[in-house]
């Protein structure tokens, strides 16, 4: 059953990538004004929210699989089959299935910790910038010598 789950996960990722690619493209311009219509921009915004919900649900699912799945799968019978049904549900419903999961499960769990998570992520971002700066300093003489 692991091979089927892997195939479903791979298909879900590629489906999400393609849907996100289509959503991020600008809508076709109107023949009259040369700019996208308000209706097309509104639909694009709605689609972007759906894509964001799909990716948030996908990331939570991937984090769950990495951290907890090994323990949970021992105690729940037919775990792989249940997981396959959930993946098929996400594949068939796309954003319509992911948005309620995000709105009613994930967002209420994260909402009390938003300030803490923001400060932690900001700190990690600053540390990453500093590390990148430190790593790139020795490269400046090499780049100037090369030019």
pLDDT in tens, 17-41: 999 999 999 888 888 888 888 999 9
What residue numbers bound the domain in which 33 lies?
A: 2-146
Residues 99 and 53: beta-carbon distance below 8 Å: yes
Give the span between the Cα atoms of 28 and 39, in whole angstroms. Answer: 12
pLDDT in tens, 49-64: 999 999 999 999 999 9
Please state the pTM of the whole predicted model.
Answer: 0.79
Q: So what's the pLDDT on residue 1?
A: 63
Give the span between the Cα atoms of 96 and 45, in whole angstroms. Answer: 15
Judged by phi (left if over 0) then psi (alpha if -120 to 50, else beta), residue 70 lies in alpha
| pLDDT tops 80 at residue 143 | no
Count of domains observed in the chain:
1
Residues 87 and 12: beta-carbon distance below 8 Å: yes
Q: Which of the 8 DSSP states describes residue 113?
A: G
Alpha carbon 45 to chain centroid, angstroms: 16
């Amino acid at each position: 059953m692991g091979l089927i789950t892997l195939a479903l996960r791979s298909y879900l990722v590629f489906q999400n990538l393609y849907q996100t690619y289509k959503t991020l493209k600008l809508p076709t311009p109107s023949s009259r004004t040369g700019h996208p219509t308000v209706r097309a921009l509104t639909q694009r915004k709605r689609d972007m929210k759906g894509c964001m919900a799909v990716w948030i649900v996908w990331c939570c699912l991937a984090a769950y699989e990495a951290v907890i799945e090994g323990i949970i799968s021992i105690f729940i019978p037919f775990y792989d089959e249940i997981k396959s049904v959930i993946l098929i549900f996400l594949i068939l419903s796309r954003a319509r299935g992911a948005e309620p999961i995000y709105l009613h499960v994930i967002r209420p769990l994260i909402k009390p910790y938003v300030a803490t998570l923001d400060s932690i992520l900001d700190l990690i971002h600053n540390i990453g910038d500093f590390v990148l700066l430190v790593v790139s300093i020795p490269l400046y003489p090499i780049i100037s010598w090369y030019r």
